[in-house]
Chain A
Amino acid sequence: MKRTWGLQLACLAVTAFFGVPLYLIALAAFASRESLDRFPLSLLPTDVSAETITTFLGSTGVVGGYLNSLMVGLSTVVLALLVGVPAGYALARYAFRGRDPYQLFLLLTRALPIVVLSVPLARIFLQTGLYDTTYAVTLLHTALALPTTVLITSAVFVGVPREHEEAAQVFGASPVRAFARVVLPQALPGIAAVAMFTFVLSWNEVLGATILTLNQRTLPAHVLTTLSDSPLAYRFAGGLALVGPAIVFVAVMRRYLLNMWGTTLR
C-alpha cells in the first residue's frame, strides 16, 4: 500500500514536471497582452483573450508552414521507416562482414554539425532543382533520422525470438510473410518509439530547413527568427503553436508503445 502511494506521488511529480511548463505557455498564449504586463502574473486564466494567438496564426505563411511541417514530418517518418526497418532487421539477424564498422559509420551522419554542411548542401539541392521543396527537407531529415532508426529497430528485432519466425515458416509462411505477420507485430512498440523520435526530430529541425527552403518553409524555419525578435506575447503564442502537433502525434502513437525501451512485452 505504502509503495503505491509513493508511486502515485512520483507519477504526479513527473507529470507536473512536463505539464506545468505547457500549462504556463498555454496560459500566456491565451492571455491578453495587457495582462502579461502585470506583475505578479496570475496563475489562473483570469484574463482570457485569443487575440495574440489568432494574430499569430493568421500571419502570412503560418498555416502553410504548418502543412509543410506536417508533410515533411510524416514523409520523413515513412521514408525513414521504409529504409531503416529493413536495415535494422539485417543488422539484427545476419552476421555479415563489416557489420560493426557499418554501425559506426551510420553514426557518422550525426558527427558533422549542419552548420558546416549548410553551404554545400544548399548548393547540391540548388543544382538538382530540389531547392525550396518539401522533398529537399524530407531527404535531409531522413538522413539525419536514419542512424537512430536503424540502431533502435535492430535492437528491437534482436528482442524478437528467431524461433517464432522459424515456426511460421514451418507452417508454410514465406519469409516475407513470416516477417510481416509474426515479427513486425512483436516489434511494433519499438517501431512506434522510432516513429515518434523521427517525427519530433523533423518537427524541431530548423537550420537545415531554413537553408534548403525559401518560399516553402516548414513552420519552425518560418517563424523562429520572427518569434525570437517579437514581443513576449507572440513568443508564447508561437511556442504553443509549435508544441501542439508534436504532442498530438505522440498521443496517437502512444498506444503502440507498450514500454519505453523498444522491447516487446511477452
Chain B
Amino acid sequence: MTNEARATRRALLQAALAAPMLAACGGVSTSGAGGAGSVNFLSTQFTPVEERQRFEKILADKVTSAKVGYNPVDNSTFATTLRTQVEAGKVQVNLVGGLHGDLAPLGDKLMDLDDLAGSLTDRGFAADLIELGKLGGTTTKYIPWMQATYMLAVNKKALQWLPAGADVQKLTYDQFLSWMTAAKAGNGGKPVFGLGAGPKGLYHRFFQGFLLPSFTGGQITTFRSAEAVTAWEYMKELWGQTAPASTNYDFVQEPLQRGEVLVGFDHVARLATAPKDKPDEWLMVPAPSGPKGLGYMLVIAGLGIPKGAPDADKAKEVIRTLTTPPVQTEVLRQNAFFPVVKADLPGDLPAAIGLEAKAVAAQQSATSAIVSLPPVGLGAKDGEVSQIFKDTFKAICLDGKPVKATLDAQATKLNGILDELKVTCWKPDPTGSPCRAA
C-alpha cells in the first residue's frame, strides 16, 4: 500500500462522508418530473425497460398541457401507494392507470369522472367498456385507456403439418392438438409449441381466459365441473406436445425468435417482436375454439384520478390527450396495446402489429366468442388466485396427478380465498354474488 494509494483512499472516504451533504435537496428525480405543476402518473403498465421508454416519449411528445412523470410499479405497490395517500389525505399522485383488475378494488379511492366521460362521447368507446369503468356502481370511476388480448403466433414453417381440412385462422382445440402432435412427429420428436409457463410467464391466463371458458363456458364457477375435467385432460395431452422448456419462457417471443419453437401462445405485447425480422414468415391467428365457443380474454386498462388529487384538471387534460385516436394508434404502434376508441388503423403499422390487429378483430368478431376478464376485485389476493391455476397445471401436467382429485383439492383452496373476499363473479361467469367454484 503506497502513500499515494492511501491518499486517494482517504480522499474517497472523505468524498463519501461529504455525500450526505448532497442529500440536502432530498433526492434526485427518477421519473423525469415531480416538480410543482407536473402530473404524477402512477401505473401498472409498461414496466419493461423499452416499453417504458417508448411510452415516456409518447407522453413527452403528445401531452402538451403538463409535464408528466411516469411511474410504473407492480400492482401491490400500486394499491398500497394509492390507499395510503388517499387515507392520509395527502395525495401526491394525480393520475393512475392500471388494468381493470388493478383498479376495481380501489373504486372507493377514485374520483367520479362522469363529467369527463360525458365530454368524451366523440371518442366512441364501446358501451361495455364504459360499463366496466363504472366498477359495478353508477358513476364512472375510470376512463378506458387501451386493450390487449392473447393469441397464437405461427411460424409458416409449421403449416406443413396442419391437418387436412383445418383452417389455421379458425382452429378448434382438437385440430390444434392433432396439428401439434403431427408437428412434433414431423420435427423429429421435437415439440414446436411454446407456452409462457416461466416464473414470470402469463400461462395462467391461457387457462383462465381461453381453455376453460372454451370448454366450460366459465372460469371460476365451473372450476371442477365435468367439462373442466375434459379441459384439463386435453391440456395434459397438449402439454405432451409442448416444448418442455416452456417452464422457462417468460416472453414467448424470445424462443420464437430463436427458432426454438414455431408456434407460441402469449399476450400480444409479448409476441410483438417475434416476426420483427421476417414478417412474411409469420402468421398471427386467433385462439382456437372449444365445445362452448371461442373463449378469449380481454385485457382492459383504464385511467382514473385519486380522490383529493392535486391538479385534477391537469390530470383530466392528460386523459383527454391519451384517448385521442392519434395517441391511441401511436401506443399501438410502439407498445402493441390496442385502441379503445374508434380509430382508423394507419397503413404503416409495424408488420407484426398489423398481423396482430387482424387477429384481434377476428377474435372479437367471432360469432361464438366468449369474453372473459382477468380476475376482478381480488386486490392483493390476485396473485393467489392465479397461483391456483398455475398449481393445477403443475399438478396435472407436470406431476401427472389425477385430474378430478386435483380439481377438487384446488377448488377447496380457491373457495377458501374467495369466501374470504366475497366478490361477485366477473365475465364469463354469471354475475351473481358471491363468486365461488360450484
A-B complex is real = yes
Question: Does A228 count as interface, using CB distance less than 8 angstroms?
Answer: yes
Across the interface, which residues of A come within 8 angstroms of B81, CB to CB?
122, 211, 214
Does B83 count as interface, using CB distance less than 8 angstroms? Answer: yes
- Most B Cβ at <10 Å: residue of A63, A215, A230, A252: A215
Evaluate contact between A229 and B32: CB separation under 8 angstroms: no
User: Which of A134, A210, A225, A232 touches B27 (beta carbons < 8 Å)?
Assistant: A134
Using A37-B258, A68-B27, A71-B20 as known contacts, say yes or no to A214 and B52 having CB atoms under 8 A apart: no
Interface range for A: 35 or more
B92 touches A132 (CB 8 A): yes
Chain A 217-232 near chain B by CB (<8 Å), digits 1 or 0 = 1000010011111111
**Interface 1/0s, chain B 337-361, versus A by CB < 8 A?**
0000000000000000000000000
Among A37, A68, A71, A234, max chain B CB count under 10 A is at: A71
- Interface stretch of the complex, out of A52-60, A100-108, A171-179: A52-60
Chain A residues, Cβ within 8 Å of B85: 122, 126
B23 part of interface (Cβ distance < 8 Å): yes
Which of A38, A226, A252 contacts B49, CB < 8 Å? A226
Tell yes or no: B42 within 8 A of A by CB. yes
Q: A14 to nearest B CB, angstroms?
A: 23
Residue of B whose beta carbon sits closest to that of A249: B16
A51 to chain B, nearest CB (A): 12
B209 close to A (CB within 8 Å) = no
Contact with A along B1-35 (1 / 0, CB 8 A): 10000000100110011011011001111111110
Chain A residues with Cβ below 8 Å from B73 are: 210, 225
Residue from A72, A210, A214 within 8 A of B34 (CB atoms) = A214
The closest CB in chain A to the CB of B78 belongs to A225
Complex contact B42–A255 (CB within 8 A): no
Which of A56, A74, A132 meets B16, CB within 8 Å? A74
- A119 to B47: give the CA distance in the assembly, Å: 23
Residue in A37, A62, A74, A127 whose CB lies within 8 Å of B257: A37
Q: Are B88 and A123 within 8 A (Cβ)?
A: yes
Which residues of A have CB within 8 Å of B29? 61, 64, 215-216
Residues 38 to 90 of chain B near chain A (Cβ within 8 Å): 40, 42, 47-50, 52-53, 56, 69-74, 77, 80-81, 83-85, 87-88, 90
Tell me if B77 and A211 are in contact (CB < 8 A).
yes
Distance in Å: Cβ of B37 to nearest Cβ of chain A: 13
Are B9 and A252 neighbours in the complex by a CB distance under 8 Å? yes
Task: Contact check, A39 vs B258: say whether CB atoms are below 8 A apart.
Answer: yes
A222 to B74, CA, bound (A): 11
- Beta-carbon contact of A226 and B23 below 8 Å: no
Partner of A61, one of B32, B84, B200: B32
* B57 and chain A: residue at smallest CB distance: A60
A123–B277 alpha-carbon span in the complex (Å): 49
B84 and A126 form a contact (CB under 8 A): yes
Q: Which residues of B contact A186 (CB under 8 A)?
A: none
- B323-338 residues at the A interface, CB under 8 angstroms: none
Q: Would you list which residues of chain A between 186 and 229 have a CB under 8 Å from chain B?
A: 210-211, 213-217, 222, 225-229
With A70-B19, A133-B27, A214-B81 known, 14 other A-B pairs at CB within 8 A are A62-B30, A134-B23, A135-B26, A214-B31, A214-B71, A215-B40, A216-B26, A216-B34, A225-B47, A225-B72, A226-B49, A228-B47, A230-B48, A231-B48
A–B pairs, 15, beta carbons within 8 Å: A55-B53, A56-B49, A61-B29, A67-B22, A68-B28, A71-B20, A75-B20, A123-B88, A132-B27, A132-B92, A134-B23, A214-B42, A214-B92, A214-B93, A226-B52
- 5 residue pairs, one from A and one from B, having the closest CB atoms: A215-B34, A61-B30, A216-B27, A133-B26, A64-B28
